[in-house]
Structure 1
Amino acid sequence: MLPWLRRLLIASIAAVLFWTIALMIFENQFIYFPEKYPKGPYDQARSIPGLRECWITTPDGIKIHAWFAPAESARATLVISHGNAGNISHRYLLLRSLQKHRYHVLMYDYRGYGRSEGTPSEDGIYIDGRAAFDYVLTLPGVDSAHTFLWGTSLGGAVAVDVAIHRPVAGVILESTFTSAKDVARVFYPFLPVQYFLQTKLNSIDKIRTLHVPVLVVHGSHDTIIPVGFGRQLFQAANEPKEFYEISGADHDDTFFVGGEEYFDRIDRFVVSALPASSALRK
């Protein structure tokens, strides 16, 4: 072997080993990107009518922060698990839009995000999701038969996990993925990190056990989580299920690009999933 080729091979192997070990050691730092309060448009969010500050204590003693936006003559309640970056304040426009479309909305921050205590982990965010669902059922006019789980990106894995542990009316999965290993293959195609990942976020296997209505929403031009992941989740889900691909949408702009059609699809899904003549109490 030529000396220069040998040096190149050794350098390449060393680089692969270095980055694989780094990803193994700092795994959570490559998955969770929280922003702590006061970073974010908190002041703008407080203009949402009737917005309530909520504090939820999880079974393992972590206090997490949430917002509850009540709606007049609400048709259902949505519990929203957001993506892996930022905090709930960055999603206030979606929260307000859903409230306008007559949904009660509970949106919460995982441990370590926004004003919530603790540090994020896979087990931790699942605990947070279940605690948020349990909490919303204690609020006046909310019951599980009219409560839907909504998960965006990372939150999709949380929504699916909560749905297999709690009775829900349905699940909405937006811009989400099949499993952490599948995402690792896309983000790090030249590194064997999928073989060493401790984080599973295995929605593809869990969704096969769900028997509630599922709506999968994905942008056709998602540059973070390819739309193929959404299609795979849809194929694995049991009936009744719907797939809504938003033409031209990327990862974080689905409701902007989708416009009124986006909310019409949400409305139709919710109505179809609820019993006839069903409505929430005020």
Structure 2
Amino acid sequence: MQDSQKLWLIRTLFVGMSVLCGCMTHVSEQTSESGHSAVDEPQAASGRRRFFSAVSSSAAATQKASDSASQQVAQNSPDDLFLFQPAKFPTGNWQPARLQYSDEWIDVDKEKIHAWYCPVDPEQRRACLLYCHGNAGNISYLAAYLAALQKAKIAVLAFDYRGYGKSEGKPSKDGILRDASAARTRFATLAGVTEDEIVLMGRSLGGAVAVQLASQKQSRGLILESTFASYSETAAFHFPKLAWLVPKDKLNSVETIQAYHGPLLQSHGDADRVIPYEFGQKLFRAANEPKKFVTIPRGDHNDPQSGEYFLAFSRFIDELP
């Protein structure tokens, strides 16, 4: 299917989902004080009038949004819209507590990429870690975690992909990989180390980014949390009838990771409903030694890591070459 046909199909899906979500919102707003929805009232005709009124008003309200979505499809490859869910930085005078950091702005493709550099005294530093976050998030979500890493004497640079947080531009596969590569280069300069001395860490989508980086240039270590083997496989799991929209080589980590030869620590929840546990295991099997896999019992995609994992994490850092 040509990109123009994909564009039309995705625009239709955007409009349809927007109208449906709008209808659900309008109908839910009709909930009575007793807690029963308007569509549960005995007067079925009244419920139908409310529903079709919601359809009409939602269609009008979402037209502007669908036009915006169409513009985004035109500027990005169609399958990128299924992959990326940017989350902007919190508004207002927002600063993380208990975190020593500096704002860094990295020029990539005429866009400015935002990052936090969280330094540690080089004489006490255990490692330098580049953090690649997951989808639908930004570095502000990581403040407490970054503070904990810094307290553990691990220097970190966490960055937002283009279109996420305060970073400019619109996300694409090639674009976010260039962002990550530029972030690693800046980190090496700031920390006074070479790029191959940096540990790469990624969660979910960020894990795929970290794998790509590790395959391009050797790193001191690689840490993956809740990461997919390939994006097309994950898309097929959730949307089997739409998976053909995603190219097979779109962030195919299970093949890319074979080019990495270094220590690997990987974790995955065995109850993950976003990226199934077996997808993480498949990625791990494809990786070279030395490697260690930690299962998070009953862990869903966004559940906290286990005590066993944090012990393995600390040991992994201390045993790095």
How does the TM-score come out when normalised to structure 2?
0.72
Q: Report the more deviating stretch, 139-148 or 102-111.
A: 139-148
2:317 to 249, 270, 273: 270
Counterpart in the other structure of 1:169: 220
- Contact 1:48-1:69 at 8 Å conserved across structures: no
The reply on whether 1:35 has 2:35 as its aligned counterpart is no
Q: Give the structure 2 partner of residue 10 of structure 1.
A: none
**Aligned counterparts of 2:81 and 2:148: Cα–Cα separation in 1:** 32
Equivalent residue for 2:244, pick from 169, 188, 195: 195
Any conservation in 1 of the 2:113–2:160 contact (CA below 8 Å)?
Answer: yes
Structure 2 residue runs of 5 or longer lacking an equivalent are 1-7, 15-72
Maintained 8 Å contact 1:37/1:114: yes
Of structures 1 and 2, the larger Rg is shown by 2
Q: Which runs of 5+ in 1 are unaligned?
A: 1-16, 275-282
- Give 1:142 shift: 3.2
Match among 207, 210, 213 for residue 263 of structure 2: 213
The equivalent of 1:112 in structure 2 is 163
Give the match for residue 90 of structure 1: 141
Q: Which runs of 4+ in 1 moved over 3 A?
A: 17-23, 140-146
Q: How does 1:130-149 map to 2 (within 5 A)?
A: 130-149=181-200
Q: Deviation of residue 19 (structure 1)?
A: 7.2
Matched, 1:69 2:118: yes
Q: CA deviation at 1:167?
A: 2.7
- Secondary structure of 2:182 counterpart: helix
Deviates more, 1:127-136 or 1:158-167: 158-167
Following TM superposition, by how much is the alpha carbon of 1:39 offset from its aligned partner in structure 2, in angstroms?
4.8
8 Å CA contact 1:151, 1:172 repeated in 2:
yes
Q: Which amino acid in 2 is paired with 1:138?
A: T
Aligned to 2:287: 237
Paired amino acid for 2:243: Q
Q: Which whole-Å deviations, capped at 9, do the CAs of 1:17-64 have from their partners, x for residues lacking one? A: 9679748x6532322111223359x7352x233211111112x22210
Amino acid at match of 1:264: L
Instruction: Tell me the secondary structure at the aligned position of residue 64 of structure 1.
Output: strand
CA distance in 2, matches of 1:106, 1:86: 16
* Partners of 2:192 and 2:181 in 1: CA distance: 19
Counterpart of 1:98, as a letter, is L
Question: Counterpart amino acid of 2:218?
Answer: P
> Distance between the aligned counterparts of 2:302 and 2:245, measured in 1?
29
* Structural RMSD (CA): 2.4
Deviations, residues 234-263 of structure 1 (Å, cap 9, x unaligned): 1000011110111122212233xx14x332
1:11 is aligned to: none
Q: Give the secondary structure class of the aligned counterpart of 1:195.
A: helix
Q: What SS is found at the alignment partner of 2:273?
A: coil
1:76: how far off?
Answer: 0.3
Query: Is 1:121 the counterpart of 2:172 in the alignment?
Result: yes
What secondary structure sits across from 1:85 in the alignment? coil
Judge conservation of contact 1:149–1:163 (CA < 8 Å) in 2: yes
Whichever structure has more helix as a proportion of its residues is 2
Deviation at 1:270, TM superposition (A): 1.9
Whole-angstrom CA distance in 2 between matches of 1:44 and 1:37:
11
Q: Distance in 2 between matches of 1:245 and 1:229?
A: 13
Of 304, 309, 312 in structure 2, the residue corresponding to residue 254 of structure 1 is: 304
- Structure 2 CA distance for aligned equivalents of residues 44 and 254 of structure 1: 23
Q: Output the amino acid matched with 1:28.
A: D
Instruction: Supply the distance in 2 between the matched residues of 1:82 and 1:120 (Cα, whole angstroms).
Output: 14
The one-letter amino acid paired with 1:108 is F
Q: Is 1:155 aligned to 2:202, yes or no?
A: no
- Alpha-carbon offset, residue 201 of structure 1: 0.8
| Residue equivalent to 1:7 | none
Query: For 2:270 and 2:193, how far apart are their aligned partners in 1?
Result: 34
The separation in 2 between residues aligned to 1:254 and 1:64, in whole angstroms, is 28
